[in-house]
């Protein structure tokens, strides 16, 4: 099976605000929107939006057993694991088990994430 497809649309448009969903455990500070998913493999493309002032420090850093790619679409996000402010345009291709976060942002941030859960 292949990832789902969609014709052109703007997920960042205020008209599509209702398509975003709170992230479990980060309610009130971050939300997500899955753009494409392969239900068979679990591979997905998602946007994550951190609200201004969001801070995931209480959740700690995280890692997962699969690779992922991220691109900062807008705003900026501080990654404590790397002691680095990620600005619009920053990109990373993370290997499995790489620790990232916790995160915080002062102005808010939108992150594009492409994840490959079955590529361990």
Helix (H, G, I), strand (E, B) or coil at 73: strand
Residue 92's pLDDT is: 97
Map out the domains of the chain as residue ranges.
Answer: 32-115
The pair of three-digit structure tokens given for residue 120, joined into one six-digit string: 């361990």
Residue 119's pLDDT is: 77
How much is the pTM? 0.93
**Tens of pLDDT along the chain (120 residues)?**
689 999 999 999 999 999 999 999 999 999 999 999 999 999 999 999 999 999 999 999 999 999 999 999 999 999 999 999 999 999 999 999 999 999 999 999 999 999 999 876
Q: Domain 32-115 maps to which CATH number in 3.50.50.60, 2.60.120.10, 2.40.50.140, 1.10.357.10?
A: 2.60.120.10
């Amino acid at each position: 099976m292949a990832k789902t497809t969609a014709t052109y649309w703007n997920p960042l448009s205020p008209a599509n605000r209702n398509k975003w969903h709170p992230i479990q455990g980060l309610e009130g500070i971050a939300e997500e929107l899955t753009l494409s998913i392969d239900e068979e493999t679990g591979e997905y493309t998602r946007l994550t939006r951190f609200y201004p002032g969001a801070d995931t420090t209480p959740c700690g850093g995280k890692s997962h057993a699969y690779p992922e790619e991220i691109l900062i679409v807008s705003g900026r996000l501080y990654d404590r694991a790397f002691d680095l402010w990620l600005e619009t345009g920053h990109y990373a291709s993370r290997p499995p088990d790489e620790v990232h976060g916790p995160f915080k942002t002062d102005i808010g941030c939108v992150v594009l994430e492409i994840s490959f859960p079955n590529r361990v």
